Chains A and B, each alone.
Chain A
């Protein structure tokens, strides 16, 4: 099963290496990992997406909690939550294709954020599935480059993951 886990971690050198090392050393699968400091600069928030059966996920959560630098942790998949991922796609936009690509971007509510005479760069935010759908819709031969942030997640409702 796919799980999305949020981790509040001390913003210290080596903290990211501890998490990455843990996954490598124990053979856990890691699909994506995003990390950045939050409003309290002494903390970073990490969102990681992983796959595993119930026992594996239980161990991942416990082993992450065991890291001294981890302050708090929440398996977002256990409750109702929202996920968003950012993607930027650079496409060849030459004469015959420019209108078509613009229309496609509009349909997906993607923004065109850079334009040259032969290319567009579009920016798109949504669930990972929506981003996948956009990539499906764009003809493969026009894609120059794709960059994705990996999903971020937050729980629904008034409660937050804080200290």
Chain B
């Protein structure tokens, strides 16, 4: 079979099993778009901004576990995609991004829409390629998918100059079935000796805590983790990226840890004598002040990336390997923990838990954002449900108040914290699971960073449900300004907001404005009842609610600020 470079690009994607590709055409990718036009196997989704193409591909990847694919043109098309690439990189999401490039003879001449995108993205991709010959396209794409999806996953960018895709040049096509690279051999199984050492520590531990992260979700190891929790009876806490790996309803689950984690999770970490970190990377939002991080604990760390180990926190027993096979071997060991000690440890944890740190004052006058999320859960709990999020207070409220029972159901930008992620990510999820209910919880600041995608949702009939917790502020910025800048709300008030409900309507969607707490549940029911429509719910919430508990940046886990509501209650008692 002889194909042109452009046809090879398209055929290679089909041979990789790509179903959807998010993109935006432009001069440098016209040949590829022409080849796309002439096939029926893969569906292209036209976004309204290249950032959304990468976020949608990313959302698809997070929900399905398959690599997301985006296609953009050279120059501004490529630079617009960078935020989405960096977002995927920080959360280790498998993604392949194809960028057009000016023809090879023009590279380096500051040609129209030329940018050195491999140079720009080098620090925020797992790897990138610049293809210089048509003969290299198939193998390079095969390598790109291989690198993106194996080891610690991540985005791979492939830059394709226009002349390389010339329809006039046809060569034999053969897609490599298997890729082997001498310079890249990701590890799989953990070292048995290290696993033995870990078991020894687990048997002796008096106050163990499992701390799991996004690696368990990305590594499809939730079943193995649940088994380990069940067998050992150890308490488990998860990072923002790890929620859903173990059901929120599991009694051993202490919820999220870190800056806005639960009191019981953070106190258990602080007092523990053994941390079992699984697919987590000791991010500063999790550890707080490193010098005060888990001062009494030995640390076991299971991770596929050797560079994650002992990067921020010194590890006693590193296990480098895929989380899934390592956890499998670990549970086969049938660790018999110290039952007595564990019982005493649980008693302490239950005391911390009894504080019920997430309680908030209810109101019948104004919708509390926490109540908005709790009610969202009430209405959607029986559905096949995915929740994406933007970044800020609403993200933390969702993480705290929406109990996720399954992996890959909570989709948000953790590492990079990208405002504008939520709606395009929801598009990717809805595309992957057309029958599922997909909602995006967002803020009035975040949503405006990619609001143009309401048009994409119209064009492709994506019935996502947007739950905008509208407090009129960049809530998290305002919270920090209230707490650390004596209430000087410098530029965090989002003035001149549009009427979101009407805005959604102009795009052909359904808009709602909800102000009264008494109406909320019914409004949600009505919105989620509209199966085939995008419904934009503008939920006006308490403008000055804060996220608690909170650990200030640079403080230890034991130095949590509790909600003033809890503190006042304590004073009364």
- A interface residues with partner B (beta carbon < 8 Å): 9-10, 13-14, 17-18, 21, 25, 55, 58-59, 62-63, 65-66, 68-71, 163
Contacts and interface: CB of A to CB of B under 8 A. Distances in A.
B166 interface: no
| Top 7 A-B residue pairs of the complex, sorted by shortest distance between their CB atoms | A62-B307, A68-B127, A71-B183, A25-B123, A66-B307, A68-B184, A62-B306
B256 interface: no
A17 B119 contact: yes
Given A17-B122, A18-B122, A70 B183 contact: yes
Given A14-B118, A17-B119, 5 more contacts: A14-B130, A17-B122, A21-B122, A59-B311, A62-B309
A58 B309 CA distance: 10
B462 interface: no
B130 A13 contact: yes
Contacts of A14: 118-119, 122, 128, 130
Contacts of A66: 305-307
B183 A10 contact: yes
Contact of A63 (B126, B307, B310): B307
Contacts of A63: 307
A55 B310 contact: yes
25 contacts: A10-B183, A13-B130, A14-B118, A14-B122, A14-B128, A14-B130, A17-B119, A17-B122, A21-B122, A21-B123, A55-B310, A55-B314, A59-B307, A62-B306, A62-B309, A66-B305, A66-B306, A66-B307, A68-B126, A68-B147, A68-B181, A68-B183, A68-B184, A71-B182, A163-B182
Interface string B306-331: 11011100100000000000000000
Which secondary structure characterizes the binding site on chain B?
mixed
Contacts, number: 39
A13 B305 CA distance: 25
Interface residues of B, number: 20
Contacts of A58: 310
A63 B128 CA distance: 16
Nearest to A72: B183
Contacts of B128: 14
Nearest to A8: B183
A155 B127 CA distance: 30
A63 B181 CA distance: 18
Contacts of A25: 123
A113 B196 CA distance: 62
Contacts of A9: 183
B189 to A, nearest CB: 18
A163 B311 CA distance: 28
A76 to B, nearest CB: 20
B157 to A, nearest CB: 12
Contact of A69 (B183, B309, B311): B183
A17 B128 CA distance: 12
B342 to A, nearest CB: 33
B268 to A, nearest CB: 27
A122 B310 CA distance: 47
Nearest to A22: B123
Contacts of B123: 21, 25
B242 to A, nearest CB: 22
Interface string B17-43: 000000000000000000000000000
A161 to B, nearest CB: 14
A149 B182 CA distance: 29
A107 B310 CA distance: 48
B303 to A, nearest CB: 11
